Chain A
Amino acid sequence: MKFAEYVIAGWVVTGTVFLAYWLRLIQRTRRAEQLDRDA
């Protein structure tokens, strides 16, 4: 594949951003749910 480093970097960055955002969202939601139950 020509320009493989740019193409792979683009796909890896996209996957990492989506995964990191989703995990952070899940983590924040669980924490908020816990506080909601404790209240």
Chain B
Amino acid sequence: MTLLKPTVGRALGWATLAALVVLALFGLWGAPPDSVQSDAQRLMYLHVPAAWVAYLAFGVTATCSALWLWPRTRSPVWDRIAGASAELGVLFTALTLVLGSLWGRPVWGVWWAWDARLVTTAVLLFLYLGYLALRRVPAAPDARAKRCAIAALVAFVDVPIVHFSVTWWRTLHQEATVFDPELKANIHGVMAFTLWWGVLAFTLLYVYLLDRRYRLEALEDDRDQRELQRLIEERIGAAVPAAGPPDKVTIGATK
């Protein structure tokens, strides 16, 4: 009931932990302070990877939702992965906003600005919170999966808007550091290494947590099915004595 084999999942967990420790060492001590933003820029090693994983998670949710909607590939597995990935996307989006706020205070002088990037990211968070709420609305498994898949695809429209908001509108938020519109990396040396390492470490963490969350989703689906089966049997059991056993029912009696 997991996406990965248990041994692979455990190895991934330890590799993720090691990668996060290395990231902390480089992010806090190994990488030099920025010439303009000084040490405040060290938050970039968390903020950018968190935003990347949020995009990835919502991309996985959208892809799995499309696979569920396509009749040839329809499977409850896609619905479970979509739900698990959306929850992780919400977690990483919330973290991106909090880290951005902590970074914005020393650099911009404010915790929050009504800026295109910030507002579209907040909208993204609320869209997927709505998606998670929709998943909790009781319904038949297929009906729930269908409406959630459609909602996930609609919500995903905001992802490219978030990403290109800094180029489409004049914003306080800086433009892309790693890949600007000419796909040129504007970061080098140890800072670039630390940033890429952060992306790798957070991606490993995402895959590890997705595997764990998928298992939980599968267990909860099984439990719901058992509960539904029990309720149906209870209803049948309650209905039969009221009607009386079939052999005592007399239709068209002649006495």
Contact = CB atoms under 8 A, between A and B. Distances in A.
Interface string A12-35: 011001100110011011001101
A22 B39 CA distance: 29
Interface in B23-77: 24, 27-28, 33, 38-40, 42-43, 46-47, 50
B10 interface: no
A11 B24 contact: yes
Given A3-B39, A14-B46, A33 B99 contact: no
Instruction: Select the residue from A2, A10, A33 with max chain B CB neighbours within 10 A.
Output: A10
B99 A14 contact: yes
Interface residues of B, number: 32
B49 to A, nearest CB: 10
Contacts of A11: 24, 27-28, 46
Interface residues of A, number: 24
B215 A17 contact: no
Which of A11, A22, A29, A36 neighbours the largest number of chain B CB atoms within 10 Å of its CB?
A11
Main secondary structure of the interface of A (DSSP, over half): helix
A6 B102 contact: yes
A2 B38 CA distance: 7
Interface of A: 1-4, 6-7, 9-11, 13-14, 17-18, 21-22, 25-26, 28-29, 32-33, 35-36, 39
Interface of B: 20, 24, 27-28, 33, 38-40, 42-43, 46-47, 50, 91, 95, 98-99, 102-103, 105-106, 205, 209, 212-213, 215-216, 219-220, 222-223, 226
